A and B are shown apart, each in its own frame.
Chain A
Amino acid sequence: MSTSRPPSQSQAPESVGVVTPQLVELFSAEHPLKLEGGETLGPITVQYETYGRLNAQRDNAILACHALSGDAHAAGVHHAGDPAPGWWETMIGPGKAFDTNRYFVICSNILGGCKGTTGSLSTNPRTGKPYGTTFPLVTIHDMVEVQKALIDHLGIPKLLTVTGGSMGGMQALEWAVSFPDRVASVIPIATTHRLSAQSIAFNEVGRQAIFADPHWNCGNYYDGPGPDSGLALARMIGHITYLSEKSMHLKFGRNLRNRDHYAFNFETEFQVESYLHHQGKKFIQRFDANTYLYITKAMDYYDLAGAFPSLRASLKRATAKFMLIAFSSDWLFPPHDLKEIANALRTNGSDVTYMVMQSDYGHDAFLLETEGLTKAIAAFLRCQRPGVRGKEGHPHESR
Chain B
Amino acid sequence: MNPVDPAPETAALSRNDYAAIVKLVKPGSKVLDLGCGGGQLLQLLREDKGVLGYGVDLSPDLILDCIGKGLSVFQGNLDEGLRDFEDQSFDYVILNQTLPVVHRPTFVMEEMLRVGRCGIVSFANFAYWRIRLRLLLNGRMPVDEILPNEWYDTPNIHHLTVRDFHVFCRHFGITILDAHYFRRLESGRVHQHMLHPNWFAGFALFVITRNA
Nearest to A356 among chain B residues (CB) is B75
* Least Cβ–Cβ distance between A222 and chain B, in angstroms: 48
Q: Which residue of B lies closest to A372 (CB)?
A: B60
- Mask for B66-98, Cβ within 8 A of A = 1, else 0? 111111111100000000111001000000000
B-chain residues with CB within 8 Å of residue A380 when the two chains form the complex: 67-68
Please state if B86 and A347 are interface contacts (CB–CB under 8 Å): yes
Are the CB atoms of A379 and B30 closer together than 8 Å?
no
Asked if A355 and B30 sit within 8 Å, CB to CB, the answer is: no
- The residues of A that contact B89 with a CB separation of less than 8 Å are 347
Q: In whole angstroms, what is the CA distance A357 to B67 when docked?
A: 14
- Chain A residues with Cβ below 8 Å from B63 are 353, 355, 376
Asked if B25 CB lies within 8 Å of chain A CBs, one says no
In residues 378-395 of chain A, which contact B (Cβ within 8 Å)?
A: 379-380, 382-384
Query: Contact between A376 and B67 (Cβ–Cβ < 8 Å)?
Result: yes
Please, which residues of chain A bring their CB within 8 A of the CB of B30? Answer: 349
With A346-B54, A353-B66 already in contact, 15 other A-B pairs whose C-beta atoms are closer than 8 Å? A323-B67, A339-B84, A346-B74, A347-B86, A353-B71, A353-B72, A353-B73, A354-B74, A354-B75, A355-B73, A356-B75, A358-B60, A380-B68, A383-B69, A383-B70
Cα A372 to Cα B86 in complex, Å, equals 31
> How close is B14's CB to chain A, nearest CB, in angstroms?
23
Q: Which of B60, B68, B71, B86 contacts A382 (CB 8 A)?
A: B68
Interface centre among A339, A343, A349, A355, by most B CB within 10 Å?
A355
Q: Does A342 contact B (CB under 8 A)?
A: yes
Q: Which residues of A contact B75 (CB under 8 A)?
A: 354-356
A-B contact pairs, 20 of them (CB 8 A): A323-B67, A343-B84, A346-B54, A347-B86, A347-B89, A349-B30, A353-B63, A353-B66, A353-B74, A355-B60, A355-B63, A357-B60, A372-B60, A376-B63, A379-B68, A380-B67, A380-B68, A382-B68, A383-B68, A384-B70
Q: Report how far A347 CA is from B90 CA in the complex, Å.
A: 10
A352 at the B interface (CB under 8 A): yes
The smallest beta-carbon distance between B34 and chain A, in angstroms, is: 14
Interface size on A, residues (CB 8 A): 23
Closest residue of B by beta carbon distance from A377: B67
Binding site for A on B (CB under 8 A): 30, 52, 54, 60, 63-64, 66-75, 84-86, 89
Residues of B within 8 A of A351 (CB): 72
Taking the complex as formed, is A375 at the interface, i.e. its CB lies under 8 A from any CB of chain B? yes
Which chain A positions have C-beta within 8 A of B68?
379-380, 382-383
CB-nearest residue of chain A relative to B57?
Answer: A355
Choice from B66, B67, B71, B72 contacting A346 with Cβ under 8 Å: B72
Which residues of A lie under 8 Å from residue B52 when comparing CB positions? 349
Complex formed: what's the CA distance from A395 to B84 in Å? Answer: 47
Q: How far is the CA of A354 from the CA of B67 in the complex (A)?
A: 10
Please, how many angstroms separate the alpha-carbon atoms of A380 and B66 in the complex? Answer: 9
| Bound CA–CA A375/B64 (angstroms) | 7
Distance of A213 Cα from B140 Cα, bound (Å): 76
| Nearest CB of B to A215, in Å | 48
Taking CB atoms and an 8 Å cut-off, the chain A residues in 50-66 that contact chain B are none
Separation of A358 and B85 alpha carbons in the complex (Å):
23
Type the 1/0 row for A325-343, where 1 means its CB is closer than 8 Å to any CB of B: 0000000000000010011
Whole-angstrom CA separation of A377 from B89 in the bound complex: 29
* Cβ-closest chain A residue relative to B70: A383
Nearest chain B CB to A314's CB is how many angstroms away? 18
Known pairs A346-B54, A356-B75, A357-B60; A379 contacts B86 (CB<8 A): no
B64: which A residues are within 8 A, CB to CB?
A: 375-376, 379
Please, which residues of chain A bring their CB within 8 A of the CB of B73? 353-355
Asked if A353 and B60 make an inter-chain contact with CB atoms under 8 angstroms apart, the answer reads no
Contact with B along A310-327 (1 / 0, CB 8 A): 000000000000010000
Cα A379 to Cα B62 with chains together (Å): 12
Chain B residues positioned under 8 Å from A356 (CB to CB): 75
Instruction: Determine the chain B residues whose CB is within 8 A of the CB of A346 once the complex forms.
Output: 54, 72, 74
**Minimum CB distance partner of A350 in chain B:** B72
Find B67's partner among A339, A343, A347, A379 (CB 8 Å cutoff): A379
Q: List chain B residues, Cβ under 8 A from A339.
A: 84
CA A323 – CA B75 in complex, angstroms?
12
Contacts of A355 in B (CB 8 A): 60, 63, 67, 73, 75
Chain A residues within 8 Å of B67, by CB: 323, 353, 355, 376, 379-380, 383
A355→B52 CA distance, assembly (Å):
19
Q: Which chain A residues in 225-262 approach chain B with CB under 8 Å?
A: none
| CB-based nearest A residue for B61 | A375
Q: Given the complex of chains A and B, what is the CA–CA distance between A376 and B74 in angstroms?
A: 13
Question: Please, which residues of chain B bring their CB within 8 A of the CB of A384?
Answer: 70
Inter-chain CA distance A111–B70, complex, in Å, is: 33
Provide the residues of chain B in CB contact with A372, threshold 8 Å: 60
State the Cβ distance, A302 to closest chain B Cβ, in Å. Answer: 23
